[in-house]
A and B are shown apart, each in its own frame.
Chain A
Amino acid sequence: MILSPHIKTSKSIQQPSNSTQPNKANMADLNESIEESQENNNLPKVFLHGPPEFSFILQPNPSHNFHILNPSSLPPLHQFLSLNPHHASSIAAIVCTGGYTVNADVLQLLPALRLVCTPSAGTDHIDLSECRRRGIQVAGAGNLFSEDVADMAVALLIDVSRKISAADRFLRRQVQNVSWNFPLGSKLTGKKIGIVGMGRIGSEVAKRLEAFSCMISYNSRNKKPLVSYPYYSTVLELATDTNVLILCCDLNDQTRHIVNKEVMLALGKGGIIVNVGRGALIDEKELLKCLIEDEIGGAGLDVFENEPHVPKDFFSLDNVVLSPHAAVVTSESLMGIRQIVEQNLTAFFSNKAPITPVI
């Protein structure tokens, strides 16, 4: 789900020498390194909010116009603040990974916070309205991940339509030299595609599928004046008129389970659902039922309601393709996101606007 575990295998990136879980033995080290950091008193303070491996995201550099409080050992925020209460009122920015919540409770602990920097495609882990209320800016990943996520959406769609993963599985299990008898797939070119969420990712998906002569229409919170594709005000209407639904929208109170049983039945037998948004956009139990009962044709899923737990019943289905929340996990995105975080912090602390603002 996050890029950080992969830093260990990436040759091009320097590793901090010790990325270990904080424990009693290195509490002393923690205090020592905090004392050293007093020398950088004048620079605004940045805290890395994530698991130990998240230290990959930003490495100390003398040219920085900010100071990272916890560059190599990443204690949980609560633990860090209880050991260093004076820092509570000095942390000006946090870099937080997807899955590490930044809600009112967290913001309460950081009265001096002015910027939240999140190197993830989604922002559902951040209470954006609370940040807005407190005048805290939020910077995201901008367009960095859009291409990789769009590529994943199209990959899943082609795979489900043409049964690529199922066919590869079939061939590797096949007894040699027996004639191949593999079921036919369904044609993708020219299909009617309904995109739910026409933001950066939705637009990149649309652009790719237009090259397959697909007919694009969409649903979004509001009609986009600069978008020429037909707009549908509800996902239900969109599903009724299309063969494929691709979910590219944010997860929030309005979009939870936006794809429910009614929508799936409207999409119909032979219909395909692709989800590169968040698992909870779909009623997962209902999806499983519809797939098993052939009410819809198939599904390509990169996200699930309770990752990394995927209901076992999916595993025996040949009309689904399952992906471990890997839409942004490419070498190219890894290199790019570290650059973006650094650029956002540098700009912000030079009194400029963040490069990739979310709000």
Chain B
Amino acid sequence: MESIDVLLVAQVLPYLEQELSKRYNLFRICDYPQKSQFLTQHGALIRAVVGNGSCGADSELIDALPNLEIVSSFSVGVDKIDLNKCKEKGICVTNTPDVLTDDVADLAIGLMLTLLRRICECDRFVRSGDWKHGDYKLTTKFSGKTVGIIGLGRIGTAIAKRAEGFNCSICYYSRTQKQEPKYKYYPNVVELASNCDILVVACSLTDETHHIINREVINALGPKGFLINIGRGKHVDEPELVSALLEGRLGGAGLDVFENEPHVPEELFGLENVVLLPHVGSGTVETRTAMADLVLGNLEAHFLGKPLLTPLV
């Protein structure tokens, strides 16, 4: 294969970076502090971009790469890629669905359990030596609670299946009602929030779902309700969430994502009814390796003129 120029715009698994280096002529955007200079000099050579959930290919970048053929994202979320522009210009987009479904669902349940049972706080309690002076306080039982899921796609369904193992009742909201008689459908998020104990965001980020968790939804969920976000930070109106937690209008929150990663609202650090994670939804060796193989497989297929493995649907 002739030397193909690929631009890596985000931090990815070292294994992926190594393989990209071996197979292609790899440019790392972080090596060029003068990004615009790099693009002016090398932009026309770039035929593929590899990004991740936090950094993809926006309109500006696409314009700077006139010979771009494919954007292969090391993520399932593609909200950082200007999909309309790609479609316009005939640029292929691939992501990494399915391989990370289990990990994200496992983490969603993990957040529910660690939040309700205060596992992180208990761990701090033991490590600080406080246990010698008395027991930790009462926590909230998880089994049997009602779980409300926003988005009953691959990840939402996997979360529902796991929650059922804990005798939880499942209800959901999604764009269209699914053929799923076991789970109760609600036609809007406020109603869903009013009727569940734990609300989990599991849909993709689009213009319609931006700030889908707003003040009204948070108030409907209430002081005994819990919010879990394993979607995108921008699904939640973050300042509203913070004030609700500080004022006790929301029972607690388990967050894997934030509006402006890596920034986390400082007020959350003092709260014991939150669990905060640095976007680790797909963060296992097994899954990141499988995602890397999909990225590599998609690029290979494209440059060999074969059908893409996981083109964006």
Interface residues of A in 122-166 (CB under 8 A from B): 147-148, 150-152, 154-156, 158-159, 161-165
- Whether B135 contacts A2 by the Cβ 8 Å rule is yes
A104, CB-defined interface residue at 8 Å: no
- CB-defined interface of A210-229 with B at 8 Å, one 1/0 digit per residue? 11110000000000000000
> Does residue A338 face the partner (Cβ distance < 8 Å to B)?
no
Q: Chain A residues near B301: list those with CB within 8 A.
A: none
A178 and B131 contacting across the interface, CB-CB below 8 Å: no
Residue of chain B at shortest CB distance from A175: B262
- Answer yes or no: B92 CB below 8 A from chain A CBs: no
| Complex Cα spacing A336 to B4, Å | 67
Bound Cα distance A211, B143 (Å): 14
Query: For residue B163, which residues in chain A have a CB less than 8 angstroms away from its CB?
Result: 211
Q: Are B103 and A164 in contact (CB under 8 A)?
A: no
B276 touches A156 (CB 8 A): no
How far apart are B167's CB and chain A's nearest CB, in angstroms? 7
In the complex, the answer to whether A164 meets B132 with C-beta atoms within 8 Å is no
Partner of A187, one of B102, B143, B162: B102
Chain B residue numbers with a CB within 8 Å of A2 are 135
Counting CB contacts under 8 A, is B248 at the interface? no
A324 and B126 contact, Cβ closer than 8 Å, known pairs A167-B280, A308-B131: yes
**A315, chain B: closest CB distance, angstroms:** 5
CA distance A309 to B125 in the complex (A): 12
Q: Of A9, A163, A179, A310, which is within 8 A of B262 by CB? A: A179
Which chain A residues border B60 with CB–CB below 8 Å? none
Verify if A64 is at the interface (C-beta below 8 Å from B): no
Point out the residues of chain A lying under 8 angstroms from B107, CB to CB. 158, 162, 164
Within the complex, what minimum Cβ distance (angstroms) separates B118 from chain A?
A: 8
Pair A162/B138 contact, Cβ less than 8 Å? no
Q: Is A245 in contact with chain B by the CB < 8 A criterion?
A: no
Q: Mark A84-98, 1 if CB is under 8 A from B, else 0.
A: 000000000000000
Asked whether any CB of chain A lies closer than 8 Å to the CB of B180, the reply is: no
Asked whether, in the complex, the Cβ of A326 is within 8 Å of the Cβ of B122, the reply is: yes
Whole-angstrom distance between the alpha carbons of A145 and B195 in the complex?
Answer: 26
Given the known inter-chain contacts A164-B119, A324-B131, A326-B139, please indicate yes or no for A187 contacting B266, CB distance below 8 A. Answer: no
CB-defined contacts of A18 to chain B, threshold 8 Å: none
Contact of B127 among A164, A309, A322, A332 (CB under 8 A): A322
Contacts of A189 in B (CB 8 A): 102-103, 105-106
Q: Is the CB of A207 within 8 A of B165?
A: yes
A211, B162: Cβ atoms closer than 8 Å: yes
With a cutoff of 8 Å between Cβ atoms, the chain A residues found around residue B134 in the complex are 5
Question: Is the Cβ of B164 less than 8 Å from the Cβ of A176?
Answer: no
Q: Determine if A289 is an interface residue (Cβ-Cβ < 8 Å).
A: no
Partner of B283, one of A172, A177, A182, A210: A182
**Among A168, A307, A323, which residue has its beta carbon within 8 angstroms of that of B276?**
A168
Q: Is A110 an interface residue (CB 8 A)?
A: no
Which of these, A171, A187, A309, contacts B286 with CB under 8 Å? A187
* Residues of B close to A323: CB separation below 8 A: 119, 122-123, 126
Residues of A within 8 A of B262 (CB): 174, 176-180
Q: In the complex, which of the residues A162, A176, A324 contacts B122, with contact meaning CB atoms closer than 8 Å? A: A324
Q: Is the CB of A164 within 8 A of B111?
A: yes
Return chain B residues, CB-CB under 8 Å to A211: 161-166
Are B103 and A176 in contact (CB-based, < 8 A)? no
Q: What is the 8 Å Cβ interface bit string for chain B, positions 239-269, against chain A (1 contact, 0 not)?
A: 0000000000000000000000111101001
B170: min CB distance to chain A, Å? 12
Complex Cα spacing A334 to B141, Å = 11
Q: Is the CB of B280 within 8 A of A326?
A: no
A285 within 8 A of B: no
Contacts of B124 in A (CB 8 A): 169
B137 within 8 A of A: yes
- State A112–B107 Cα separation when bound (angstroms): 54
Given the complex, which residues of B lie within 8 Å of A176, measured CB to CB? 262-264, 266
A6 to chain B, nearest CB (A): 5
| Contact between A158 and B110, CB atoms less than 8 A apart | yes
Q: Is B185's beta carbon under 8 Å from chain A?
A: no
Q: How far is the CB of B37 from chain A (nearest CB, A)?
A: 23
- 7 example contacts (A-B, Cβ-Cβ < 8 A) are as follows A151-B113, A162-B283, A164-B110, A168-B276, A180-B278, A307-B131, A324-B131
Chain A residues within CB distance 8 Å of chain B: 1-3, 5-6, 9-10, 147-148, 150-152, 154-156, 158-159, 161-165, 167-172, 174, 176-180, 182, 184-190, 207-213, 307-310, 314-315, 321-326, 329-334
Given contacts A164-B275, A186-B284, A325-B135, 18 further A-B contacts (CB under 8 A): A5-B134, A147-B143, A148-B141, A152-B117, A158-B106, A158-B110, A158-B113, A159-B114, A162-B110, A165-B123, A168-B276, A176-B262, A189-B102, A210-B165, A324-B125, A324-B135, A326-B135, A332-B141
A-B CB proximity, top 6 nearest: A211-B165, A158-B110, A189-B102, A155-B113, A180-B278, A322-B126
